[in-house]
Structure 1
Amino acid sequence: MVIACLVILGITLGRGVHGYGNGAAHPACTHMHVAHGEYQRGPSPYSISLPDSPTKYSAANQVKLCIRASEIWRGTLVQARRADNSDIFPVGSWSEEVPADTRLMTCSIEGDSITHANTKQKDDNVCFMWQPPTEPVGDIFFIATVATTKDIWWMNLTTPQLSPEVDYGTAGGYGIHYSAVLLLLSVAMRSLF
């Protein structure tokens, strides 16, 4: 009995030493803090970038985001967020086709975050495809936490903001304001009579 208790205690305590080997814990969804130790405050060997340099987004086009690393990395949490911080949850979702050793994570809607699937060393340059939401959410940016080890990690890595491509107060989403449509219809009707 004593041996069984010691084995269970050893397994339980041993699991905590390794952090979150199969992905970020759900509480990290809102604040990006991975809850193991203090984050690094110096310059990060990691960055996140948008290689296609978009300044706009739309529901019709996915956005490519890459983690670039000058050192090995093993863990991550990546999300798209509202730039005005009006919501603490991620927006949009990620393509189901993710690179090896990473996986989708659900914080508020299915697949709205990316995390690591294990603690294996990841490639220097890993890219993901983000699907914008179907409804407008205003300006957005991407944010990431990247970990070298359980105790060495950086948070609040961000990209420049992206704006919605379409003025969602428009007719059919094509940039033609309702007032312009009404004016054109009015002129057309007058010319007919």
Structure 2
Amino acid sequence: KVQAVIIGWACMLLCLVSYTAAFSHGASLSACADMTPKHIRAQLQNPWNNYITIHTNMSSYFPGDKVPVTVRSTRDFMGFLLQARRVSNDQVAGTFVFIPLGSKLLTCFEDGDTVTHSDKSLKRNLSFVWKAPAQPIGDIKFFLSVVQSYFVYWVRIESAIVSQ
């Protein structure tokens, strides 16, 4: 009986370790559309009750412009997914041309249109540079999903509108 309990605990621990390791190197492509982490028993938090802000030092941009984007947090977090989206239709737009250490580019719909974490090191303040497409796309917002732990996350934290 004791041996069965030990084997059960060992199997559960092995499953948890292998599952969480799968997301330690970034969000999966299955998160591209809705920006929701695909964790077991993860608990979605209220997007308006978070400790993270997204800043840009530009309130408007022109086609082809590079827009600095900064994520600031008062608490450590492990994972994230960052995208720029058109206000008009919520489509992912543009590409990231500068990303910080501990992150990597993803191709959700176009090369480099999304950034995610590349390791599970704790993060707090991150800086990016987003490049607008050469053609006009209208106003945009930056959206960020953040994983504080494997069980607590926020989806689609919004920046202010950046007008075109």
| Smaller-chain TM-score bracket | 0.7 to 0.9
Change (3 A) 1:60 1:85: closer
Change (3 A) 1:10 1:70: closer
How far apart in 2 are the matches of 1:19 and 1:148?
A: 16
1:102 aligns with 2:103: yes
Name the stretch that deviates more: 132-141 or 39-48: 39-48
What is the Cα-based RMSD across aligned positions, in Å?
2.2
How far apart in 2 are the matches of 1:15 and 1:47?
A: 31
Change (3 A) 1:9 1:67: same
- By how many angstroms is 1:156 displaced? 1.7
Match in the other structure for 1:179:
none
Match in the other structure for 2:4:
none
Alignment of 1:4-23 (within 5 A): 14-18=17-21, 20-23=23-26
1:30 is paired with a residue whose SS is: coil
Match in the other structure for 1:127:
127
How far apart in 1 are the matches of 2:63 and 2:38?
A: 33
The normalised TM-score by structure 2 is 0.84
The normalised TM-score by structure 1 is 0.72
Change (3 A) 1:60 1:86: closer
Higher relative contact order (CA 8 A, sep 6+): 2
Aligned residues: 152
Identity over aligned residues, as a percent? 27
1:78 aligns with 2:82: yes
Change (3 A) 1:80 1:15: same
Q: Whose strand fraction is larger, Structure 1's or Structure 2's?
A: 2
CA deviation profile, 1:50-70 (whole Å, cap 9, x unmatched): 1x1x22112342001111010
1:24 is paired with a residue whose SS is: coil
Change (3 A) 1:12 1:146: same
How far apart in 2 are the matches of 1:63 and 1:72?
A: 25
Larger Rg: 1
Give the alignment partner of residue 37 of structure 2, picking from 17, 34, 44. 34
